[in-house]
Chains A and B, each alone.
Chain A
Amino acid sequence: MKHRVTSYSDEELFAHLVDAGLAEAAFSELYRRHGQRMYAYCMRVLGSVRQAEDVFQEAMMKFFQSGQSGTEVKNVAGYLMLTVRNLCLNRKRDTKITFSLEDYDIHVPSGAAHYEAEELAQLISSALELLEDDYREAVVLREYDGFSYQEIATITGSTEVNARTRVFRAKQQLRTILQPYFNDIMKHR
């Protein structure tokens, strides 16, 4: 089956998880398609490598067990995202940590003369943790996981307009947080 799974839809692959002979190939393909996005979500929403890995592994196990139990799912990506999100919310609820801007000293690379995405990416993770949970989640779902606003609204239980607003405001706040970096870039231009 391995040479054919790439042509299967998510839903077909999920349905094959009940088949012991095909489950491994089906899960491997689903993991290949969605694993990184889910892991990125865990990392950026939880902000802790250890917690992200724990939640990611737990989510994958739950997802697999759901498939093996014959659960019918029409939108596998959304279902997996909800699984990951619920576990992330549980984890955050259990380990509530508040952040303030003063907790972070955004390090601006010295001598940066250009917009370097790599450098900025290193700052993004810290900056994301300063956002409110709803904003951070919305921008991660949009920019990391590639969900549409409609899908984000479904996942987060809000409206499409609300989802779009959250993403926009999250980006605005990130720009504000990263303004020292942008200013430094301007000075060296």
Chain B
Amino acid sequence: MNYSELIHDFLDGTMEQAEEEELLMAIARRADLREELRQALALKAAFKADFQALTPPMHLTNSIFAEMGFAAPGASALGTSALATVGTSASAPVATGGMFSAIYTFLQGSFLTALASSFLTAALFLTWNHFASEESGQQERIVQLPASLALQRITPQASYLQETKHLHTVTREQWTSSSTHNFEQNNIRNFNSQEQEQSSAQQRQDESGFGISSSSNSIVSTPSDATTSTSPDNALPPAALASTVREPSLPTVAPNKQYQTISAPEPISLTAATPDADGFFQHLQINARGITSVSLPRATLPSNPSSFLRNTAIGALYRLTEQHCFGFEFGEEAFFQRFRATDGERQLVMDVQQNPSLLWAGLAYRYVMMPENNVSPILHTVLGGTQIGATGRVMLGLNYSPDARTQFTLGVESSALVYTHQGIWYASPKIGITYGVSLKL
């Protein structure tokens, strides 16, 4: 019997029970077989140790994945046995936080969700544009109307207020057809925004016996009228009231000496954050912006092709106030990485360069310096992460608001990816410009 073959089968696990007993008895009797078994065991252990040392080097793995257009895999792409040999510190750049990793996993795993979000944003944009154009049409009518405006404004005179208790209303059409004054757009906006106040002023006037009865109608709000109708001075004696109204540049008394009101059944809100806008969604805004940036130093490798989110950021912000917004933002951007890797097994030090396109997500904060102006400086920051490290970005730019709901943004943005490899921290900074649009819901 060839005991060498039996020893081989024994270590191979392919031996039958009867043969095993015979071999063990032989080994117990013969020293040469014990030595042969010892050597065979050593050889088997050596195979295992040699195999564990044969891990695909990181530069090779990165090269393969880059050639396929994929981001370099993390340590998980290597065999676990390889990790045991190389050591956990020799792993590829790893994610820094479970939360970011979870967000990344969610984003990556929910590609369709991201796609749907993009379409939703586009749909909201188009929908808003549709309504905005209608609304702006209304505005245009209002704004253009003053060219032929023949509104008969009435300076409240004490005698009239004393003598006339009956007021009648005019519709918007009546107002527009008979108007001649050339109001400025801001005055028209005042008209709309002050209707609420005027309603309450009307109520006060009713109570004071001025006879303005229809709650659905409001007094024509010109600057002077607004003063007149909303001023608590209405409750003053006529003489005192007359003295408070000074509008020399505006035409004064109507031919029939009657107050004229217009019908404005549905107030038109031109500011999103009206005092009654207390619903959650009324404080939300959706942002979509593009990012054009370069790595510092300049990337020497092309990045892998990626999804539609490439160099794009999509987010939602909640306006705590008109100046301060908080929310989240996610997107995708290539970060050029250059770090040193040490292969302990081969005593090699490698300069690794890669330019993966990474999904990022984070918490966003936006500060609008002058929200009351159409053009305002803004500061936009995001703190978040990618699958291989933390990322932060700061944007300084300008917001242009053509209307109350739409904002266009243009700014300079700086971002950085911070990651660790083999216990050493690295940063991949970028700088560029960003441009985008925000829609207030």
Contacts and interface: CB of A to CB of B under 8 A. Distances in A.
Do the two chains bind? yes
Interface of A: 1-4, 21, 23-25, 27-28, 31-33, 35-37, 39-40, 43-44, 53, 56-57, 60-61, 64, 115, 117-118, 120-121, 123-125, 139, 143-144, 167-168, 171-172, 174-175, 178, 182, 186
B279 interface: no
A109 to B, nearest CB: 13
Given A3-B105, A21-B111, A36-B81, 15 more contacts: A2-B108, A28-B65, A32-B77, A35-B61, A35-B77, A35-B79, A36-B51, A40-B50, A44-B50, A53-B60, A117-B46, A124-B46, A125-B50, A143-B44, A167-B8
B47 interface: yes
Contacts, number: 121
Nearest to B67: A61
A124 B47 contact: yes
Contacts of A143: 44, 47-48, 51
Contacts of B67: 57, 61
B38 to A, nearest CB: 7
Interface of B: 4-5, 8, 35-36, 38-51, 53-57, 60-61, 63-65, 67-68, 70-71, 73, 76-79, 81-82, 105, 108-109, 111
B46 A36 contact: no
Contacts of B68: 24, 27, 61, 64
A175 B40 contact: yes
Nearest to B54: A40
Given A43-B54, A168-B8, A57 B60 contact: yes
Contacts of A4: 109
B84 to A, nearest CB: 12
23 contacts: A2-B105, A3-B109, A27-B68, A27-B70, A28-B73, A36-B56, A36-B78, A36-B81, A40-B51, A43-B54, A44-B50, A57-B63, A61-B68, A117-B45, A118-B49, A120-B43, A120-B45, A120-B46, A124-B43, A143-B44, A167-B8, A171-B8, A186-B35
A21 B198 CA distance: 58
Nearest to B35: A186
Contact of B70 (A28, A35, A53): A28
A24 B67 CA distance: 12
Contacts of A24: 68, 70-71
Contacts of B38: 115
Nearest to A182: B39
Contacts of A27: 68, 70
A125 to B, nearest CB: 6
B54 A57 contact: no
Contacts of B81: 36
A60 B63 CA distance: 11
Interface of B, secondary structure class, is helix
B109 A1 contact: yes
Contacts of A182: 39, 42
A36 B345 CA distance: 15
A24 B36 CA distance: 47
A31 B81 CA distance: 14
A175 B79 CA distance: 29
Nearest to A34: B79
A44 B46 contact: no
Nearest to A175: B39
Contact of B49 (A31, A37, A120): A120
B54 A39 contact: yes
Contacts of B55: 36, 39
A143 B67 CA distance: 31
A31 B77 contact: yes
Contacts of B36: 175
A121 B109 contact: no
B51 A144 contact: yes
Contacts of A120: 42-43, 45-46, 49
A132 B421 CA distance: 41
B54 A60 contact: no
A97 B105 CA distance: 48
Given A115-B42, A115-B45, A121-B50, A35 B78 contact: yes
A1 B108 contact: yes
Nearest to A58: B64
Nearest to A43: B54
B46 A121 contact: yes
A186 B31 CA distance: 13
A77 to B, nearest CB: 14
A82 B196 CA distance: 80
A39 B60 CA distance: 10
A124 B45 CA distance: 11
Given A36-B78, A40-B54, A121-B50, A171 B111 contact: no
Given A3-B105, A28-B70, A39-B55, A60 B64 contact: yes
